[in-house]
Amino acid sequence: MSSEPLVLGIETSCDETGVGIVRGTTLLADAVASSVDEHARFGGVVPEVASRAHLQAMVPTISRALSDAGVAADDVDAVAVTAGPGLSGALLVGVAAAKAYSVALGKPLYGVNHLSAHVAVDLLEHGPLAEPCVALLVSGGHSSVLLVPRIGGEQITELGATVDDAAGEAYDKVARLLGLPFPGGPPIDRLARDGDPAAIAFPRGMTGAHDPPFAFSFSGLKTAVARWVEARQRAGEAVPVADVAASFQEAVADVLTAKAIRAAREQGVGHLVIGGGVAANSRLRALAQERCDAAGLRLRVPRPGLCTDNGAMVAALGAQLVAHGAAPSALDLPADSALPITDVLV
């Protein structure tokens, strides 16, 4: 093995077939094949369609990543794969592929947690993470505030999570009711730029004095948006879509950043990391920067392309595990659709 491990990472937890190649903390390739267009007309990811698309895309995407990185399969020192959480059938395709490459190449296998990988990926862009740090993880299926002692090292502690919808899920549902395409985050983000974030005072869920400080709730916000839009429509008035998008987005970004920053302060850490698909959101990024500056915290958010699902994040976490001497996973590694956020390695 050369000084730093060359790790191949495979991600198939949802609708992106991602294959990343990393040497230590250096990103060499990030190939992604998405089946999102095949799901769009259903308004959400159809698990069977995603699994079949992963199967078709897997080998070509691995070949593309190897050629982009300019390395041969034999050069790979370890294979990392998302073992969960995610869609069972989709995860199975990635885990089976990773096992096959691991056996064929005679290299160790690391089954990793998709959510930890969303946090780890930032080290490819901004160098090693501070230890410990607080992480805000915001994706299509999860929204949590985490205390991360050492990425790839000790267990992660969940300080709080959503009690109902995830932030990304709220974006997707609100987009649907506004007649915007799936996934809803990008079109709402774009539309909101032409809207007034203060136009409508949407509720900030879970921010009462007696609410758990790091828990989230976005289902009431989604209902509030639906009611507001319906009332307009019933009155025969036009719906100011850009204002609705901007006001909804402001409510999400306000709550997420306020709670994450409070957690960092209470934990006495100097760094906040934001990861997951919703971390690509322009308003969340801007507001987090503004509030971290005011609180004297260092903010780290990967570039938008590394926030949404990809294989580079899996390879990045795999390389940390190899570097810390973690024991590889067993070859009968299961795909665990409900893998707890605290389990970094399976």
Residues in contact with ligand KG4 by the rule CB under 6 A: 14, 139-141, 168, 171-172, 183-186, 189, 276-278, 280-281, 308-309
Structure token pair of residue 294: 């005011």
Q: What angle do CA 189, 158, 335 make, to 5 degrees?
A: 85
- The nearer residue to Zn ion, 172 or 309, going by C-beta atoms, is 309
Q: How many residues bind Zn ion (CB under 5 A)?
A: 2
CB of 281 to ligand KG4, least distance (A): 3
Residue that is written with structure tokens 């719906």 in the block: 239
CB of 289 to ligand KG4, least distance (A): 15
Among residues 229, 200, 118, the alpha carbon closest in space to that of 167 is found at: 118
CA distance 74 to 290: 46
- The nearer residue to Zn ion, 161 or 239, going by C-beta atoms, is 161
Residue 189 binds which of Zn ion, ligand KG4, none (CB < 5-8 A, kind-dependent): ligand KG4
Q: How many CB atoms lie within 10 A of CB 290?
A: 12
Q: Which amino acid is at 208?
A: G
Q: For the purposes of burial, counting CB atoms within 10 Å of the CB of 293, is it exposed (0-12), middle (13-18) or buried (19 or more)? A: exposed
- The nearer residue to ligand KG4, 5 or 185, going by C-beta atoms, is 185
Residue 132 binds which of Zn ion, ligand KG4, none (CB < 5-8 A, kind-dependent): none
**Is residue 309 close enough to count as binding Zn ion by CB under 5 A?**
yes
- The nearer residue to Zn ion, 89 or 197, going by C-beta atoms, is 89
Residue 113 binds which of Zn ion, ligand KG4, none (CB < 5-8 A, kind-dependent): none
CB of 310 to ligand KG4, least distance (A): 8
CB of 317 to ligand KG4, least distance (A): 14
CA distance 339 to 114: 9
**Stretch of residues binding Zn ion (CB under 5 A), selected from 56-64, 146-154, 170-178, 304-312:** 304-312
CB of 37 to Zn ion, least distance (A): 18
Structure token pair of residue 205: 């869920």
Binding Zn ion (rule: CB under 5 A), the pick from 17, 139, 257, 310 is 139
Yes or no: say if 28 and 21 are a contact pair by the CB < 8 Å rule. Answer: yes
**Is residue 343 close enough to count as binding Zn ion by CB under 5 A?**
no
Whole-angstrom CA distances from 112 to 51, 235, 334 are 19, 51, 11
Structure token pair of residue 24: 């230590």
Yes or no: say if 281 and 189 are a contact pair by the CB < 8 Å rule. Answer: yes
Question: Which residues, 9 to 48, sit near Zn ion by CB under 5 A?
Answer: none
CA distance 176 to 166: 15
Return left, alpha or beta for 18; rule: phi > 0 is left, psi -120 to 50 is alpha, else beta.
beta
- The nearer residue to Zn ion, 229 or 313, going by C-beta atoms, is 313
- The nearer residue to ligand KG4, 11 or 243, going by C-beta atoms, is 11
**Stretch of residues binding Zn ion (CB under 5 A), selected from 21-29, 43-51, 102-110, 139-147:** 139-147
Question: What are the residues binding Zn ion (CB under 5 A)?
Answer: 139, 309
